[in-house]
Amino acid sequence: MSTEPTPPFVPSRNQHKILMSKFAEMLGRALDRSVSELVDHRNMLRLNHGKAWTHGDLNDTSELKRQTAEVHISQARLADGDFSLLVETIEALRTQIDTAFKTSIFATITESCNQNGQTVQATEESLPDQFMTMLRKISFGIDENGEPSLPQVHIGPGNPLVRVLQSQPPEFHAKLQELVEEKKEEARRSEFERRAKFRKAPFNE
């Protein structure tokens, strides 16, 4: 008894269009999850613009930076209708773009901090004091409920910051908490002043 080989899967033009649309949709969701690890969705805006834009008040021009990713798709597996290839390809692209995005965003933050003097230099012994200095240099944000939000701290593998801070005496943690409360109150005052600039228009009957 002989069996005929399974004919290769050849999608129609409409099927190909649907497949690529779903592929782009799945890749987009995967990338959104990666971006949300660093940027809150409430702080994301989607704008139509060219390759560069200028902030008039800051006299600063920003430009889009190209990011690329490359994957290789097995023609044999595609012809056999192996759709697990779709998931593997999306994950490979997501990993590459995720790495490029995170590298780019930290490079941009570093460049901005260097230009504005918002940096601290620390050895392991001076980490506690420099951590306090870092907090004094930054401003806390305000959430949608009008309450101060603590800043995020991102550290690389092997960085001793957490271990060193946890090993500090109670006096250090008391001073740290006092500084945090001061920065929260500073954020509240700043938000109050900002909102005071927007006066309500008089109600005309």
Domain boundaries of the chain, sorted by first residue? 13-40+52-116, 127-196
Name the pairing type of β-strands 141-142 and 52-55: unpaired
DSSP 51: S
- Selected residue with higher pLDDT from 107 and 35: 107
* pLDDT of 166 above 90: yes
Q: Which of 13-17, 69-73, 179-183 has the highest mean pLDDT?
A: 179-183
